[in-house]
């Protein structure tokens, strides 16, 4: 098990920067997806360089590796607590959102079925697979069309799983086989994108440069600017996203390059020294950042709900703004309520994991006793 001392401390302006980056990435996804619905002739095409919403997801992946590295190392309480924290965080949002999406789907199918995106196969199966983070295994992609953003949550789940099995591994063949099994089950799409997540982890894990905070912030700004320029001109490589064979992982090489810029910028973040940003603004920023998760997974079903009930006036900028405000308010209210329910999920997974471990230990003990007899 990796149990060495944490590489750095995240606090003050660095913590605020991470929150701001989360907010900007989530807003970018919302704005781009809404814009593409209202301005069809100007919609960003997947074959163009730097598809903004996909770039934002790459930022999320790098951030995830960075933050999970920080929380796992600095607050290491063992594998059970790690699994409990990760499962409660994901499921407290994803499971209710899948149910909400399914209800929106049912409602739209009654009032305006033309607004639904056509898909092959069973929609019910897609919702079930997504509920267990199985919708992106190997070479198929089966997120519900009404909530395609769920693809990245399947990737995240398997990153958490693979990382946890590696970080908390024990000597012996069993731990190695479990890690290999998780990698094999996840399949090539997810594993090809995992270097992006690992870059975020390494950005936290490796000691930062010994430079002044002022110089660090200048370099961070320059790194993000350089990354934006590269994103604007680097074509999707080796394939265009959304299509076979790898769907959202199609441009994995391009994504690796962009992730290098993001992770390098995070590596440059000044090491916290216990100083704090003004408490009220920092707390407000953190609360807003905590709502980016529900916003990310709810924004598209809410956009389609607007289209089905109110209708879209194409090329109408002010209606676009109204729809974005509607999505922001609705997703924030739902997200705030779901966040309040998270302790229930934490207790549920604590009960489930504890009883599962006890059952396994009893079964193993009974088997050992039988063998001795």
Q: What are phi and psi of 247, to 5 degrees?
A: 55, -115
* Distant-in-sequence, close-in-space partners of 176: CB < 8 Å, separation ≥ 6: 169
Rounded Cα–Cα distance for residues 180 and 167 (Å): 14
DSSP designation for 311: -
Report pLDDT for 83: 94
CB atoms within 10 A of CB 24: 12
Rounded Cα–Cα distance for residues 363 and 357 (Å): 10
Structure tokens at 3: 């149990």
* Distant-in-sequence, close-in-space partners of 12: CB < 8 Å, separation ≥ 6: 270, 272, 273, 274, 275, 276, 277
Q: Is the dihedral of CA 190, 196, 198, 204 positive or negative?
A: negative
Report pLDDT for 5: 47
Q: What is the pTM of this model?
A: 0.92
Report pLDDT for 365: 52
Start-end of H helices in the chain = 12-38, 52-74, 79-111, 123-131, 150-167, 173-186, 188-205, 213-233, 252-267, 279-290, 292-309, 317-340, 342-372
pLDDT in single tens digits along all 373 residues of the chain: 554 545 577 878 889 999 999 999 999 999 999 999 999 999 988 889 989 999 999 999 999 999 999 999 988 888 899 999 999 999 999 999 999 999 999 999 899 888 886 655 568 899 999 999 999 999 989 999 899 999 999 999 999 999 999 999 988 899 999 999 999 999 999 999 999 999 999 999 999 898 999 999 999 999 999 999 999 999 999 999 988 899 999 999 999 999 999 999 999 999 865 554 457 888 889 899 999 999 999 999 999 999 999 999 999 999 999 999 999 999 999 999 999 999 999 999 999 998 877 755 555 555 555 455 5
Q: How many residues does the chain have?
A: 373
* Distant-in-sequence, close-in-space partners of 266: CB < 8 Å, separation ≥ 6: 18, 62, 63, 66, 200, 203, 204
């Amino acid at each position: 098990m990796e149990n060495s001392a944490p590489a750095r401390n995240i606090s003050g302006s660095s913590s605020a920067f991470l929150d701001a980056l989360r907010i900007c990435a989530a807003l970018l996804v919302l704005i781009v997806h809404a814009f593409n619905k209202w301005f069809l002739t100007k919609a960003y095409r997947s074959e163009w360089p730097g598809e903004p919403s996909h770039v934002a997801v790459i930022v999320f992946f790098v951030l995830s590796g960075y933050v999970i590295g920080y929380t796992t190392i600095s607050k290491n309480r063992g594998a059970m607590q790690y699994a409990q924290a990760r499962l409660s965080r994901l499921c407290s949002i994803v499971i209710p959102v899948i149910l909400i999406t399914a209800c929106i789907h049912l409602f739209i199918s009654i009032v305006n079925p033309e607004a639904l995106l056509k898909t092959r196969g069973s929609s019910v199966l897609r919702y079930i697979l997504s509920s267990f983070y199985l919708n992106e295994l190997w070479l198929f992609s089966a997120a519900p069309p009404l909530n395609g953003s769920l693809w990245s949550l399947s990737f995240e789940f398997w990153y958490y799983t693979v990382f946890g099995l590696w970080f908390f591994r024990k000597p012996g063949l069993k731990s190695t086989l479990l890690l290999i099994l998780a990698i094999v089950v996840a399949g090539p799409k997810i594993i090809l994108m995992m270097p992006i997540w690992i870059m975020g982890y390494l950005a936290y894990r490796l000691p930062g440069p010994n430079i002044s905070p002022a110089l660090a912030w200048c370099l961070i700004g320059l790194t993000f600017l350089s990354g934006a320029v590269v994103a604007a001109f680097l074509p999707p490589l080796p394939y265009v996203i959304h299509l076979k064979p790898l769907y959202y992982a199609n441009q994995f090489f391009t994504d690796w390059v962009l992730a290098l810029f993001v992770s390098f910028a995070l590596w440059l973040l000044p090491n916290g020294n216990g100083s704090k940003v003004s408490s009220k603004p920092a707390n407000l920023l953190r609360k807003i950042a905590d709502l980016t998760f529900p916003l990310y997974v709810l924004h598209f079903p809410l956009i389609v709900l607007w289209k089905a009930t109110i209708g879209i006036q194409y090329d109408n900028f002010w209606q676009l703004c109204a729809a974005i405000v509607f999505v922001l308010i609705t997703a924030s209210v739902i997200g705030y309520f779901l966040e309040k329910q998270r302790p229930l999920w934490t207790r549920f997974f604590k009960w489930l994991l504890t009883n599962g471990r006890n059952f396994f230990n009893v079964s193993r003990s009974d088997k050992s006793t039988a063998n001795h007899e």
